[in-house]
Amino acid sequence: MNQLQITLPDDWHLHLRDAESLKSTVPATARCFGRAIIMPNLQLPITNTEQAEAYKQRIVTNTPPSSTFTPLMTLYLTDNTPASEIKKAHNSGFVYGAKLYPAGATTNSDSGVTDVNKISSAIEAMEALGMPLLVHGEVTQTDIDIFDREAVFIDTILKPLKQKFPKLKLILEHITTEEAVRFIENSDNTVAATITAHHLLYNRNHMLVGGIKPHYYCLPILKRNRHQQALISAAISGNPKFFLGTDSAPHTQLAKESACGCAGCYTAPTAIELYAEVFDTHNALDKLEGFASFFGPDFYGLPRNTQTLTLIRKPWTVPASLDMAGETLIPLRANEELAWQIAN
């Protein structure tokens, strides 16, 4: 197959940053996605409905005029998020979920939740309203190995949480392990997961063998090959509980190529092309549309997009670097060839 037309996909997990950066990050996503769930963990996290509205406006201002791209906003949960704020956000009509970052789990998550029991009333409100809880699933205890943090989170936090709130809609974001795949498969239909392109394409060998490659460093960290294979099987399975979320997370070249480099892979400029490559490699291009365009909106209770996107098999080379707010950014796959591109 050399050409593939699919319903316009959406990105159910995206970091856009703010201010000047939006001039490049918004068009990069709007080029191939109809909507995106916008992560709220900025340097000043988006913790209330007013902030989400203002941030949405800044994103819309930076959307190319020819694009119909719609940002779907989220709130950042803190220990102090009241149930009333959840209700207000839900009633606004532009907030579609709230994000649980265990405090310190990842970039700009220091004001996250220190103990899920502290946000019981907010979660109770979400359960009642049918508003999805979006979870960064890693424990942060220093004595837990970084490669085990997702599996330990599932056992010690997620399973008890789902028992306490059985009707809560929950999305385990950017899953990276076989344990996460099994947890999702064995849960009822209130539970789903997003999968990034980079966790489908790479494992920890790519990051560590032959020298440390900081552009593969992300959180949750790339795991063993066996976990990568479990993610690929889940993504191409046609199981509607697994859908596309890039976790595209731009950091400047300086911030990545540093003695203490930031976590995040910038995949927006190549996103749907990278997913197409994975599905193609595994003879599953017929499953791409469900994963990229149907299962996300179905889980969120939103209509599927009506526009289409056409991909063609035609090699192109990813730019060596890009600009973000006057600084240099290295996209994932910089200077390398991709097999698929979007037809004009």
Cβ-based nearer residue to ligand DOR, 6 or 116: 116
Distance of closest approach, residue 181 Cβ to ligand DOR, in angstroms? 18
Q: Which does 128 bind (CB under 5 to 8 A by kind): Zn ion, ligand DOR, none?
A: none
Distance of closest approach, residue 262 Cβ to ligand DOR, in angstroms? 6
**What mask of x and - would describe binding to ligand DOR in positions 128 to 147, judged by CB under 6 A?**
--------x-----------
* Window 210-239: residues binding ligand DOR (CB under 6 A): 218-219
Q: Does 263 bind ligand DOR (CB under 6 A)?
A: yes
* Window 19-48: residues binding ligand DOR (CB under 6 A): 41
Distance of closest approach, residue 75 Cβ to ligand DOR, in angstroms? 16
14 contacts 29 by C-beta, under 8 angstroms: yes
> Which residues are catalytically annotated?
247
Judged by CB under 6 A, the residue of 7, 49, 78, 106 near ligand DOR is 106
CA atoms within 13 A on the CB side of 269: 22
Beta-carbon contacts of 292 under 8 Å, excluding residues fewer than 6 positions away, are 6, 9, 10, 243, 244, 272, 275
Cβ-based nearer residue to ligand DOR, 45 or 297: 45
Q: How far apart are CA 76 and CA 189, in angstroms?
A: 24
Q: Does 268 bind ligand DOR (CB under 6 A)?
A: no
Q: How far apart are CA 93 and CA 213, in angstroms?
A: 41
Beta-carbon contacts of 237 under 8 Å, excluding residues fewer than 6 positions away, are 287
Q: Does 111 bind ligand DOR (CB under 6 A)?
A: no
Q: Does 247 bind Zn ion (CB under 5 A)?
A: yes
Q: What is the dihedral of CA 293, 295, 296, 300, to 10 degrees?
A: 130
Report strand pairing: 242-244 vs 191-195. parallel
Measured CA to CA in angstroms, residue 137 lies from 36, 87, 159, 338 at distances of: 20, 24, 11, 31
The span from the first CA to the last CA of the chain, in angstroms, equals 18
Distance of closest approach, residue 283 Cβ to ligand DOR, in angstroms? 29
Distance of closest approach, residue 321 Cβ to Zn ion, in angstroms? 22
Judged by CB under 6 A, the residue of 30, 73, 249, 318 near ligand DOR is 249
Cβ-based nearer residue to ligand DOR, 109 or 190: 109
Q: Which does 219 bind (CB under 5 to 8 A by kind): ligand DOR, Zn ion, none?
A: ligand DOR
Q: Does 10 bind Zn ion (CB under 5 A)?
A: no
Q: 3-class SS at 109?
A: coil
Peptide bond into 71 cis (omega under 30): no
**What is the secondary structure of 36-52 as a DSSP string?**
EEEP--SSS---SHHHH
What is the binding site for ligand DOR (CB under 6 A)? 15, 41, 106-107, 136, 218-219, 247, 249, 263-264
Chain residues binding Zn ion by CB under 5 A are 247
